[in-house]
Structure 1
Amino acid sequence: MARDLVAGWGSRDRPAGARPRVLIIGAGVAGMSTGCYAQMSGMETRILEKHVLPGGCCTAWSRDGYIFDYCIEWLIGTAEGNDANQVWRELGALDGKTMRNFPVFNKVVDADGRSVTFYNDPDRLEAHLLAISPADRKLIQAFCRDLRRFITIDLYPFLTPPPLESVGQKLKKLRTVLPAFRLFWRTAATQMHTFADRFSDPLLRKAFRNIFFQDPEDFPLLPFLFNMASAHNDNAGFPQGGSLGLSRSIEERYTALGGDISYRARVARILVEDDRAIGVELKNGQRIYADHVVAACDGRTTIYDLLEGRYTGPTIDRLYDELLTRPGTLFPAVVSAFVGIEGDFHPDQMHSTTYLLSDSEGARLPGALQNSIVVQLRSQYSDGFAPAGKSVIHCTYFSDYSYWKTLRTTNRREYWDRKREVADFVRGMLLRRMPDLTDRIELVDVATPATTHRYTGNHEGSILAWKAFSDADDLAARLINKEHMRLPGLHAFSMAGQWVGLGGLIRAASTGRFVTQFLCEELGLEFQAWESPPAEPWHPAKLGHLPQLDSRPVQ
């Protein structure tokens, strides 16, 4: 085991002309993407991962034959013929898989039982909304008109970082952006809250905020329209195998390219000599050396723990000293309750529904940040998530990390009591709204923000890191466009992942492509990328062995 972790990387002596060695911290989507592109571009890479599975937050776990899929709700890039899909094809992420596309993005039901169905088709959506509230005709027509325009726009800027774009690439982007510039500017400048508050119907005021399942707060109209348009174009589907299936496919692509992943390899610090990263030291004291180190893990841990805060600058200082603790800057953490049930769902049942809760109901949800809960019938998304004749439901809500972390640290018994409260609430809520589940619920497993932090190290259990369209957005973009994904004063080191590229799996994957392009420019190598070869059809056995979340289910 010890020899395998070092395996020829324990010495700084290298023969002349040897391929550049790149050490990558973290086997999430960004880390494996970096490894794939670096291998294709002629480098020798190795990934160190603290967990026993690839994917980071893009993962799953199991219990009693159920697969609890944790991450993907929709994946940008599932349709062929666009740049986002090209990234996934190069990474082998969708190899051999079918895609599930839904005609509805989400359904929102209020405490009185009234509902809004957000169809991806703007004509169907417009007719449905007008039937609910004819008095809001102008607003409804304006939203659906903008959705129709977004459906015609093909803009997925995930292939090349802006500083390295060729003249041809810049012109192509301009030809797409300029005709729609006013649309982009207006929808990016209009907050969804401001827009929603203009509806006369109180249900529509609440429902529009929850198109993305729960209210992300401080989001403008643009991302709602962009993602619904992508879904309409079958470019925001759900890949067979789900979250861990995506990660396993990228892992398979990476190892086929000659890369190596060491699991249960916990990095204690990044080794630096004369302001140059030369490798890492593991928790067990072993040292592994490389020509370049890429941190594709939690940003704060990288900068202040692994590098002891020695390499910062104005952008980093503002992000991590000022904005990290500012409310609304990080994407909220979530509580997940997975429910295993006997039997199947009716095929016409809605795959995703947000239930708006009364104040009294919301007060019963431990650590809840909003009075709502999302119910997704995950067995409708892909095969293999439950044993034959059974199904899985995934319930989530935004929650406060410090609430759960404090409980788990100071009173483990009370922590488990609150998890059981979540399970009791979910069970009761499902039986009230879906009475056909009576006597069919077999088990409930609950993951909290403290769970996310424990398994991934993500700061405050945030799955998506910096919130897009917040004050952190421009600063994170500067890390790519100006800093080239480096830290001030530190050579032979780069960062990848959501702490530089913001949230979303396609953006995480694109940071691996970007960082490799910057590295190729520095080393004088030609950046190379090609699609993975044809693969056998996906099957659930490809997920491999899955661990349990805890030693016992909550219920």
Structure 2
Amino acid sequence: MAAADRGPDWSGRERPAGGPPRVIVIGAGLAGLATGCYAQMSGLETRIFEKHVLPGGCCTAWSRHGYLFDYCIDWLIGTAEGTGAHQVWSELGALDGKSVTRFDTFNRVVDEHGRAVTFYGDPDRLEAHLLALAPGDAKPIRAFCRDLRRYAAMELPWELTPPPLRTAAERLRTLRAVLPAFRLFWRTATTPMSGFAERFQDPLLRRAFPNMFLQEPEGFPLLPYLYTLAAAHNGNAGFPQGGSLGLARSVEERYTSLGGVIGYRCRVERVLIEDGRAIGVELKDGTRHFADHVVAACDGPTVLERLLEGRYSSPATEKLYGELLDKPGNLYPAVVSAFVGIDGPLPEGEPHSTTYLLTPEDGERLPGSLQRSLVVQLRSSYADGFAPPGKSVLHCTYFSDYRSWKDLRTGDRRAYRARKQEVASFVREFLERTYPGLGGRIELVDVASPVTTERFTGNTYGSILAWQAFSEAEDAANRLVNKDRMRLPGLSGFSMAGQWTALGGLIRAATSGRFAAQYLCRELGRPFRAWPSDNREPWHAGKWGRLPQLDRATVGAPDVGAPDVGVPEAGVAEVGVAE
């Protein structure tokens, strides 16, 4: 029975006299859950409809043969107390009862010849390491580390209120934080990392710096690299206990404790509109649920094309979805993930994350690879519960194109599965070469393609973070949030939230839910309220809940991935790498 069957009946058009306004939220990703939490705290009555059996969207995990494959978080911004981003997670209960793993090493990059550069968060340690590695590049090394020290020393505010609703005091606080470093922000925001990297004479540093973020995000300037490395140094970019699904489950728990109701296996087919106003939703089973307001916190193209039947748009959405969606560099790339289950321990003394730069021959062997590199993360070395006792798990990833995977799965399922096997075979061989003896201990390799991501989350083109920051899409997305107030002209009672509205990243998605609730409260003439969760129960594995299983296929040392199955209509969904 779907969870939507619980709670009050919303099948009638009229709500009880004197009752609070009702809000339907489409999607139980981080943005949808956050919208629900803040709306409940502000005295509204909400329910969330989610087509899947789990919360979190891309912030998820799945299980196979006792292994937990954590899909999303590499680092989480907002893990340091006293920061604005941490306030959001505190209000959402996301870190309740959890420890946070913090990394001295942000990432390591190793070239084809075995030369390595380690990106430490500590500016002094990083500078000494880089100078020892490439003394001829002292000038750009010292310039980068000097800027890193300045970022690490600043207390940058995380905006908790959308610009149109900020008070004079909030605006003044932002100015006081930004103005002293305005020239630094401007210079690092307008200096492309690719251009800065060309200043290095050392060939490894030229290639390594853009891969500081595991792989190179196209078009990124220096600013996000410096900001994130400084955040890691200050303990504000760590890995939370419970990982991705643990984060989603904690926010889900916060939402239901506030009185919210989630309906899983409840696919919304369309938004009900009457006289230019959204009045509710119709589900796949034909049932209708009515509310005073509908918030779509899900895939942007799906919202505009299917849920709203192409009837509404704005200059911002026309720019985003009509002009920029298919233009390279505006969407965050899709990813191929290969989870590797290993009998025994991981190699000792290795950093938690390494980007390996591949030879042209190896790069050609990775199906759909956009960059000649492979990221290897030693997941079970810093996260408890991800592997059975005595075993370990690795997560290998690379940016990949979407179209070749989609065309192959649509036209030739057998060839599609064979291509996934190519990924698994390469990963197996590469790990054996890199860590001799490890290949013989591999028990399984589980591959998720960009098509997997699209089918699991609904994200167009399998993009894991939707619109990319510092791209042409950023101005249009900012207009959608700040000028249009996350709404569409000609349609009242409806708003949007999430990474397709406010750019990608978990803290951005969660904050967009806060913004959506603030705009809604202003529209309804109700005070916006938010306070920290007081749940002090320590995190434990039972909070993951009943995990989706992928045991239908026999998986052993030579096997790969999951069978080509979709999400069934009843029982526990077979998800994650379900094709």
Matched, 1:224 2:220: no
How has the CA–CA distance of structure 1 residues 336 and 549 changed in structure 2, closer, same or farther, with 3 Å as cutoff? farther
Matched, 1:60 2:78: no
So what's the TM-score if we normalise by structure 1? 0.98
Please state whether the residue corresponding to 2:97 is helix, strand or coil. coil
Matched, 1:467 2:468: yes
Match of 1:98 in 2: 99
Match of 2:296 in 1: 295
Please state whether the residue corresponding to 1:169 is helix, strand or coil. helix
Match of 2:32 in 1: 31
Shift of 1:392: 0.5
Q: Distance between the aligned counterparts of 2:260 and 2:447, measured in 1? A: 34
Q: Distance between the aligned counterparts of 1:346 and 1:323, measured in 2? A: 43
Equivalenced residues, count: 555
Matched, 1:505 2:506: yes
Q: Distance between the aligned counterparts of 1:551 and 1:522, measured in 2? A: 50
Instruction: Tell me if the contact between 1:107 and 1:116 (Cα under 8 Å) persists in the aligned partners.
Output: yes
Shift of 1:549: 4.9
Match of 1:452 in 2: 453
Matched, 1:400 2:411: no
Q: Distance between the aligned counterparts of 1:355 and 1:158, measured in 2? A: 36
Match of 1:477 in 2: 478
How has the CA–CA distance of structure 1 residues 460 and 220 changed in structure 2, closer, same or farther, with 3 Å as cutoff? same
Match of 1:274 in 2: 275
Instruction: State how 1:136-285 maps to structure 2 within 5 Å.
Output: 136-285=137-286
Q: Distance between the aligned counterparts of 1:252 and 1:103, measured in 2? A: 31
Which one-letter code corresponds to 1:393 in the other structure? L
Match of 2:566 in 1: none
Instruction: Tell me if the contact between 1:6 and 1:287 (Cα under 8 Å) persists in the aligned partners.
Output: no
Q: Distance between the aligned counterparts of 1:100 and 1:6, measured in 2? A: 38
How has the CA–CA distance of structure 1 residues 64 and 107 changed in structure 2, closer, same or farther, with 3 Å as cutoff? same
Which one-letter code corresponds to 2:473 in the other structure? A
Which one-letter code corresponds to 2:58 in the other structure? C
Residue by residue, what CA displacement relative to the aligned partner does 1:156-179 show, whole Å, maximum 9, x if unpaired?
Answer: 424111111111111111011000
Please state whether the residue corresponding to 1:473 is helix, strand or coil. helix
Shift of 1:198: 1.3
Match of 1:72 in 2: 73
Q: Distance between the aligned counterparts of 1:441 and 1:395, measured in 2? A: 13
Instruction: Tell me if the contact between 1:6 and 1:286 (Cα under 8 Å) persists in the aligned partners.
Output: no
Match of 2:312 in 1: 311
Please state whether the residue corresponding to 2:440 is helix, strand or coil. coil
Instruction: Tell me if the contact between 1:98 and 1:240 (Cα under 8 Å) persists in the aligned partners.
Output: yes
Residue by residue, what CA displacement relative to the aligned partner does 1:298-357 show, whole Å, maximum 9, x if unpaired?
Answer: 011001111011111211111101000001110000000000001122552210000000
Instruction: Tell me if the contact between 1:163 and 1:481 (Cα under 8 Å) persists in the aligned partners.
Output: yes
Q: Distance between the aligned counterparts of 1:21 and 1:439, measured in 2? A: 57
Instruction: Tell me if the contact between 1:196 and 1:206 (Cα under 8 Å) persists in the aligned partners.
Output: yes
Q: Distance between the aligned counterparts of 2:403 and 2:309, measured in 1? A: 24
Match of 2:544 in 1: 543
| Farther off after superposition, 397-406 or 225-234 | 397-406
Shift of 1:57: 0.1
Matched, 1:518 2:519: yes
Q: Distance between the aligned counterparts of 2:192 and 2:382, measured in 1? A: 31
Please state whether the residue corresponding to 1:435 is helix, strand or coil. coil
How has the CA–CA distance of structure 1 residues 550 and 470 changed in structure 2, closer, same or farther, with 3 Å as cutoff? farther
Q: Distance between the aligned counterparts of 2:274 and 2:509, measured in 1? A: 29
Please state whether the residue corresponding to 2:79 is helix, strand or coil. coil
Q: Distance between the aligned counterparts of 1:34 and 1:26, measured in 2? A: 10
Match of 1:384 in 2: 385
Match of 1:430 in 2: 431
Q: Distance between the aligned counterparts of 2:541 and 2:447, measured in 1? A: 23
| Farther off after superposition, 167-176 or 433-442 | 433-442
Which one-letter code corresponds to 1:88 in the other structure? W
Residue by residue, what CA displacement relative to the aligned partner does 1:218-240 show, whole Å, maximum 9, x if unpaired?
Answer: 00000000000000000000000
Which one-letter code corresponds to 2:471 in the other structure? S
Q: Distance between the aligned counterparts of 1:139 and 1:385, measured in 2? A: 40
Q: Distance between the aligned counterparts of 2:372 and 2:6, measured in 1? A: 47
Match of 1:48 in 2: 49
Which one-letter code corresponds to 1:335 in the other structure? V
Please state whether the residue corresponding to 1:222 is helix, strand or coil. helix
Instruction: State how 1:355-366 maps to structure 2 within 5 Å.
Output: 355-366=356-367
Q: Distance between the aligned counterparts of 1:67 and 1:464, measured in 2? A: 22
Residue by residue, what CA displacement relative to the aligned partner does 1:492-520 show, whole Å, maximum 9, x if unpaired?
Answer: 00100001111110000000100000000
Q: Distance between the aligned counterparts of 1:28 and 1:534, measured in 2? A: 21
Match of 2:571 in 1: none
Instruction: Tell me if the contact between 2:466 and 2:499 (Cα under 8 Å) persists in the aligned partners.
Output: yes
Q: Distance between the aligned counterparts of 1:461 and 1:93, measured in 2? A: 25
Q: Distance between the aligned counterparts of 1:259 and 1:5, measured in 2? A: 11
Which one-letter code corresponds to 2:231 in the other structure? S
Task: Show structure 1 runs of 5+ residues with no match.
Answer: none
Q: Distance between the aligned counterparts of 1:415 and 1:438, measured in 2? A: 24
Instruction: Tell me if the contact between 2:93 and 2:251 (Cα under 8 Å) persists in the aligned partners.
Output: yes
Instruction: Tell me if the contact between 1:158 and 1:507 (Cα under 8 Å) persists in the aligned partners.
Output: no
Please state whether the residue corresponding to 1:67 is helix, strand or coil. strand
Q: Distance between the aligned counterparts of 2:414 and 2:381, measured in 1? A: 35
| Farther off after superposition, 11-20 or 85-94 | 11-20
Shift of 1:386: 0.6
Q: Distance between the aligned counterparts of 1:432 and 1:45, measured in 2? A: 53
Task: Show structure 2 runs of 5+ residues with no match.
Answer: 561-579
Q: Distance between the aligned counterparts of 2:6 and 2:66, measured in 1? A: 32
After TM superposition, what 4+ stretches of structure 1 lie above 4 angstroms from structure 2?
none
| Farther off after superposition, 109-118 or 540-549 | 540-549
Shift of 1:381: 2.5
Instruction: Tell me if the contact between 2:299 and 2:459 (Cα under 8 Å) persists in the aligned partners.
Output: yes
Residue by residue, what CA displacement relative to the aligned partner does 1:441-497 show, whole Å, maximum 9, x if unpaired?
Answer: 111100000000001100100010001000100110111110001011110001000
Percent identical among aligned pairs is 67
Shift of 1:397: 0.4
Match of 2:532 in 1: 531
Match of 2:333 in 1: 332
Shift of 1:5: 7.1
Shift of 1:420: 0.6
Residue by residue, what CA displacement relative to the aligned partner does 1:160-214 show, whole Å, maximum 9, x if unpaired?
Answer: 1111111111111101100000000000000000000111111100000100000
